[in-house]
Amino acid sequence: MKILVIEDEPQLLQNIKDSLEKEQFLVETASDYYTAIDKIAIYEYDCVLLDIMLPNGNGLNILNNLKKEAKGENVIIISAKDALDDKLKGLSLGADDYLTKPFHLAELNARVKVLFRRKTLNGKDNITYGNLKLEIEDRLLFVNQTNIPLNRKEFDILNYFLLNRDRLITRTALAEHVWGDHIDQVDNFDFVYSQIKNIRKKLQISKADLKIESVYGIGYKIVEK
């Protein structure tokens, strides 16, 4: 799960990032309005944590842009402004939740997970595909009820494929999801390919009901065996 945290207070931003990364989320950050606008225009996120008061602009304008562009991000507003009118405005613009500062990081983590389950997994905490079951919270893969060990990146890649099972996944989109917004790092495509190679081998050995096919020059897709 890839999260963008938009927050201008440096220590709080770092604390949120550290806390979410401990939960195995991929976290990107923006500390001002224009950086946030640039990132949401270029990249896709599973969730956006959005402060309202930002240098050079208002977070509600970012929220408005997200909804106008029909972006799929789940949005949780995190703000010190606790007036009812501010909450109602944020929710009316399409925010999914509103958390008033100060808050406990454990509560923020819980709300992110609940939102993800509700909007992406229809309230469940797992994804099933034939004889395969991916336990999201515990980050475990089972095939025919047998646990198949995956490293962190292998789990993230397989999770991304299963959440987008009806889509052709480009190499760039997959690299960005695994590597974050810094996909210009050396050999990132080779890194993703090596992880997919390992996943394919584990799926084949475990006799899973799916496989990952390459689409020449474009990317990958999952198909039933």
Question: Do 112 and 162 share a domain, yes or no?
Answer: no
> 68, 102, 120: which is the final residue of a domain?
120
> 120, 152, 168: which is the final residue of a domain?
120
Residue with tokens 């515990």: 138
Q: What are phi and psi of 186, to 5 degrees?
A: -65, 135
Q: Give the distance, in angstroms, between the CA of residue 209 and the centroid of all CA atoms in the same chain.
A: 25
pTM of this prediction?
A: 0.76
Question: Do 132 and 98 share a domain, yes or no?
Answer: no
Quote the Cα angle for 36-38-39, to 5°.
65
Alpha carbon distance 146, 122 (integer Å): 25
Question: Do 48 and 134 share a domain, yes or no?
Answer: no
Question: Do 162 and 90 share a domain, yes or no?
Answer: no
Alpha carbon distance 144, 132 (integer Å): 7
Q: Can you read off the two tokens belonging to residue 152?
A: 């962190």
Question: Do 166 and 206 share a domain, yes or no?
Answer: yes
Helices marked H in the chain? 10-22, 33-42, 59-68, 84-92, 105-120, 152-163, 171-179, 188-205
> 105, 120, 135: which is the final residue of a domain?
120
Amino acid symbol at 150: L
- Residue 103 sits in a domain whose CATH number is 3.40.50.2300
Domain that holds residue 20: 2-120
- Residue 157 sits in a domain whose CATH number is 1.10.10.10
The per-residue pLDDT for range 71-123, each reduced to its tens digit, is: 757 899 998 877 677 778 888 888 889 998 889 999 999 999 888 888 777 76
Question: Do 77 and 170 share a domain, yes or no?
Answer: no
Amino acid symbol at 79: S
Q: Tell me which H or E stretch contains 141.
A: strand 140-143
Q: Can you read off the two tokens belonging to residue 16?
A: 């949120």
pLDDT of the chain, 225 residues: tens digit per residue:
889 999 999 999 999 999 999 988 989 999 999 999 999 888 888 899 999 889 999 899 999 888 777 775 789 999 887 767 777 888 888 888 999 888 999 999 999 988 888 877 776 788 999 999 999 888 999 999 999 999 988 998 999 899 888 789 888 888 877 777 665 554 566 778 888 999 999 999 999 999 999 888 888 999 888
11: left (phi over 0), alpha (psi -120 to 50) or beta: alpha
Question: Do 57 and 108 share a domain, yes or no?
Answer: yes
Question: Do 115 and 9 share a domain, yes or no?
Answer: yes
What is the count of structural domains for the chain? 2
